[in-house]
């Protein structure tokens, strides 16, 4: 594998990012890329470790570790080390429909499971993955997967996020005629409107969509299935239906003052900003959208409630608007600087780190914007019904009589914070709408579409479900995994057998 002693010879070198002072003034991608020869050196760090935990995705202690789509990571690392880029792309394309997305926005659970990570910084898997697909597009290796013949079977995929696109791509390759329905005005779902442009350039999304269109996948936008198109109409026109609508129902904050003006869900904030950027044209990419049709944080004291990737994206977006101050509340305690004893490899490392948004906020305002172990108790308004601030209490996490950890208010820790904008990034509860009910597809106790993992078939035999709509809020890489799996089972349902992986 690669250079046998490479992991001992070479230090980890991750690609850099554009200087913060420069990038917070625009919406251009923040990521930089290593030249080929330095990428080959990084690939040489891949060990001949015998059992490559990196390419087997699993859930340990409630967190993902390893690659859920089973990327053949050691194989393409070795090929990159030897300069065989085309062969590396062929290996990567066997398992991943969209490496350009996972190579930018996936949190890299593969690196968390890298064997080298037991004692040293892990291999830079994510950046090598992105470099492979970027070169593949530049060299013209990425071609439409138009089938030699059509089966005559028609499949409707509802939702155009990563699960829906992966499912459509796989089904199209074996000859089924696939139509993807999207209620928004642009295709891409989470990839288009849920992730800001500086983190995932929308040109990359459109580039991939062009490949899918050329291969024969049909896209329909501005259609809310279940309202504009009924379940009966779907069944009349299609032989199978796949629900990939995501888990888009946001978790709300039930405190006094929730009705005040200035309190917004994270996706409303992010979606409006990206749509406005795209509608305003190329000049909008700095410093603000030109059409003004978005929720602006300019000149405001902003508080983001909730962490995770969505909270980070809200922090970075508010900074680019020119907010006056910025705080992010986390109800959990601050993680330790290094793995704790109860968080061993290969679990996902629960350690303190600055993501890109927090690093930007620290550079602009002088400190990490996060306040840990903080719970909001009330939103405060002015005489006009507009938000002026909020009240919080610090919490201590204690084990209750049932053995579960729970937050307990710390007496005397109440505080008030100025805020004219509060962004709720508290996660998601399940799919929106009544479409599963209309189709006769049962839902579980969390309102997700009930479909067994690995089979993806619902209680309605012609209806399948994949991605966040089935499993709840999760990672892009799990969505791709499930979209591929659902495509396999749809093909089996339609044809009696399948050769899809």
Q: What is the DSSP string of 308-368?
A: HHHHHHHHHHHHHHT-SEEEEEESSPPPPSS--TTS-TTSPP------HHHHHHHHHHSS-
For residue 105, what is the enclosing H or E element?
Answer: helix 99-105
Express each pLDDT in 397-431 by its tens digit.
999 888 899 999 999 999 999 999 999 999 999 99
* β-bridge mates for residue 177, sequence order: 154
In the structure, what pLDDT confidence band is assigned to residue 280 with cuts at 50, 70 and 90? confident
CA 412 – CA 399 distance, rounded (Å): 21
For the chain, the distance separating the N- and C-terminal CA atoms, rounded to the nearest angstrom, is 26
In the structure, what pLDDT confidence band is assigned to residue 293 with cuts at 50, 70 and 90? confident
Asked if 283 and 416 sit in the same domain, the reply is yes
Asked if 298 and 309 sit in the same domain, the reply is yes
Residue 281 has pLDDT above 80, yes or no: no
How much is the pLDDT for 2?
A: 63
Q: How many domains does the chain have?
A: 3
Q: Give percent above pLDDT 70 in the chain.
A: 98
Which residue is listed with tokens 């064997």? Answer: 115
Please name the residues in contact with 442: beta carbons below 8 A apart, sequence gap of 6 or more.
Answer: 436, 449, 450, 458, 459
Do the domain assignments include residue 127?
Answer: yes
CA 75 – CA 197 distance, rounded (Å): 31
Total residue count of the chain as it appears in this document: 501
The Cα-based distances of 391 to 37, 44, 250, 300, 353 in angstroms read 53, 52, 22, 17, 27
How much is the pLDDT for 17?
A: 96
Do the domain assignments include residue 149?
Answer: no
How much is the pLDDT for 372?
A: 97
Asked if 303 and 348 sit in the same domain, the reply is yes
The Cα-based distances of 255 to 6, 172, 236, 389, 477 in angstroms read 55, 48, 46, 13, 34
Nearest to 139 by CA among 87, 202, 181, 201: 87
Do the domain assignments include residue 146?
Answer: no
Do the domain assignments include residue 148?
Answer: no
CA 176 – CA 414 distance, rounded (Å): 60
Phi, psi of 178 (to 5 degrees): -110, 130
Express each pLDDT in 13-39 by its tens digit.
999 999 999 999 999 999 999 999 999
Residues 119-139 have a mean pLDDT of 97
Asked if 331 and 412 sit in the same domain, the reply is yes
Domain boundary residue, one of 426, 458, 476: 426
Q: Are 53 and 65 in contact (CB under 8 A)?
A: yes
- Token output for 489: 């089972």
Express each pLDDT in 464-475 by its tens digit.
999 999 999 999
How much is the pLDDT for 292?
A: 77
Is the omega angle on the peptide bond into residue 346 within 30 degrees of 0, that is, cis? Answer: yes
Do the domain assignments include residue 208?
Answer: yes
Q: Are 261 and 309 in contact (CB under 8 A)?
A: no
Burial of 407-419, coded b for 16+ CB within 10 Å and e otherwise, reads beeeeeeeeebeb
Asked if 21 and 168 sit in the same domain, the reply is no
Asked if 266 and 409 sit in the same domain, the reply is yes
Asked if 158 and 95 sit in the same domain, the reply is no
Dihedral over alpha carbons 290, 294, 299, 301 (to 10 degrees): -160
Residue 284 has pLDDT above 60, yes or no: no
How much is the pLDDT for 50?
A: 85
Nearest to 191 by CA among 222, 221, 161, 157: 161
Q: Are 414 and 393 in contact (CB under 8 A)?
A: yes
Residue 288 has pLDDT above 70, yes or no: no
- Token output for 318: 């508010």
Express each pLDDT in 158-179 by its tens digit.
999 999 999 999 999 999 999 9
Asked if 64 and 171 sit in the same domain, the reply is no
Asked if 458 and 383 sit in the same domain, the reply is no
Q: Are 253 and 387 in contact (CB under 8 A)?
A: no
Q: Are 110 and 480 in contact (CB under 8 A)?
A: no
Grouping H, G, I as helix, E, B as strand and the rest as coil, residue 389 is: strand
Asked if 228 and 303 sit in the same domain, the reply is no
pLDDT mean across residues, the chain:
95
CA 188 – CA 185 distance, rounded (Å): 10
pTM (two decimals) = 0.96
Domain boundary residue, one of 99, 115, 139: 139
CATH of the domain at 274: 3.50.50.60
Asked if 419 and 446 sit in the same domain, the reply is no
Quote the domain boundaries for residue 102. Answer: 6-139
Residues 449-478 have a mean pLDDT of 97
> Burial of 445 by CB count in 10 Å (0-12 exposed, 13-18 middle, 19+ buried)?
exposed
Do the domain assignments include residue 144?
Answer: no
Do the domain assignments include residue 501?
Answer: no
Grouping H, G, I as helix, E, B as strand and the rest as coil, residue 130 is: helix
Asked if 342 and 225 sit in the same domain, the reply is no
CATH of the domain at 78: 1.10.1060.10
How much is the pLDDT for 433?
A: 87
How much is the pLDDT for 4?
A: 83
Residue 188 has pLDDT above 60, yes or no: yes
How much is the pLDDT for 287?
A: 59
Domain boundary residue, one of 73, 106, 139: 139
Express each pLDDT in 339-358 by its tens digit.
999 999 999 999 999 999 99
Nearest to 467 by CA among 60, 112, 218, 165: 165
Do the domain assignments include residue 147?
Answer: no
How much is the pLDDT for 1?
A: 59
Burial of 169-203, coded b for 16+ CB within 10 Å and e otherwise, reads bbbbbbbbbbbbbbbbebbbbbbbbbbbbbbbbbe
CA 474 – CA 419 distance, rounded (Å): 30
Express each pLDDT in 311-337 by its tens digit.
999 999 999 999 999 999 999 999 999
């Amino acid at each position: 594998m690669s250079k046998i002693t490479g992991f001992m010879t070479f230090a980890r070198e991750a690609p850099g990012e554009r200087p913060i002072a420069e990038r917070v003034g625009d919406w251009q991608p923040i990521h930089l890329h290593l030249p080929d020869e330095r990428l080959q050196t990084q690939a040489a760090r891949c060990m001949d470790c015998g059992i490559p935990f990196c390419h087997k995705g699993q859930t340990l202690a409630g967190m993902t570790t390893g690659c859920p789509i089973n990327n053949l990571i050691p194989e393409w690392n070795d090929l990159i080390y030897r300069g065989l880029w085309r062969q590396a792309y062929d290996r990567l394309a066997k398992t991943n429909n969209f490496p350009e997305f996972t190579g930018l926005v996936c949190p890299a659970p593969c690196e968390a499971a890298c064997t080298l990570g037991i004692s040293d910084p892990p291999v830079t898997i994510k950046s090598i993955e992105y470099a492979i697909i970027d070169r593949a597009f530049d060299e013209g290796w990425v071609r439409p997967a138009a089938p030699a013949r059509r089966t005559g079977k028609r499949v409707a995929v509802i939702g155009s996020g990563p699960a829906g696109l992966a499912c459509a791509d796989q089904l199209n390759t074996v000859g089924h005629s696939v139509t993807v329905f999207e209620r928004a005005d642009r295709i891409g779902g989470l990839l288009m409107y849920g992730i800001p442009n500086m983190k995932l350039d929308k040109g990359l999304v459109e580039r991939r969509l062009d490949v899918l269109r050329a291969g024969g996948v049909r896209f329909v936008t501005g259609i809310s299935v279940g309202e504009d198109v009924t379940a009966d109409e779907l069944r009349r026109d299609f032989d199978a239906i796949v629900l990939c609508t995501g888990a888009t129902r946001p978790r709300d904050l039930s405190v006094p003052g929730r009705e005040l003006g200035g309190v917004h869900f994270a996706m409303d904030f992010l979606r409006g900003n990206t749509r406005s950027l795209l509608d305003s044209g190329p000049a909008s990419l700095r410093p603000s959208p030109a059409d003004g049709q978005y929720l602006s944080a300019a000149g405001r004291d902003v508080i983001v409630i909730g962490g995770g990737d969505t909270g980070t994206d809200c922090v970075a977006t508010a900074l680019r608007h020119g907010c006056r101050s910025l705080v992010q509340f986390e109800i959990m305690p601050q993680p330790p600087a290094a793995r704790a004893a109860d968080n061993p490899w290969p679990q996902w490392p629960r350690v303190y780190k600055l993501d890109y948004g927090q690093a930007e906020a620290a550079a602009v305002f002088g400190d990490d914007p996060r306040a840990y172990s903080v719970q909001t108790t009330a939103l405060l308004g002015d005489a006009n019904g507009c938000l002026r601030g909020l009240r919080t209490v610090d919490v201590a996490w204690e084990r209750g009589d049932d053995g579960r950890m729970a937050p307990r208010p710390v007496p005397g820790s109440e505080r008030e914070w100025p805020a004219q904008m509060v962004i709720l990034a508290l996660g998601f509860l399940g799919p929106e709408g009544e479409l599963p009910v209309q189709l006769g597809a049962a839902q579980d106790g969390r309102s997700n579409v009930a479909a067994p993992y690995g089979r993806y078939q619902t209680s309605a035999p012609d209806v399948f479900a994949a991605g966040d709509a089935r499993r709840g809020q999760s990672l892009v890489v799990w969505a791709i995994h499930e979209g591929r799996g659902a495509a396999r089972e749809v093909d089996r349902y339609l044809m009696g057998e399948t050769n899809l992986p």
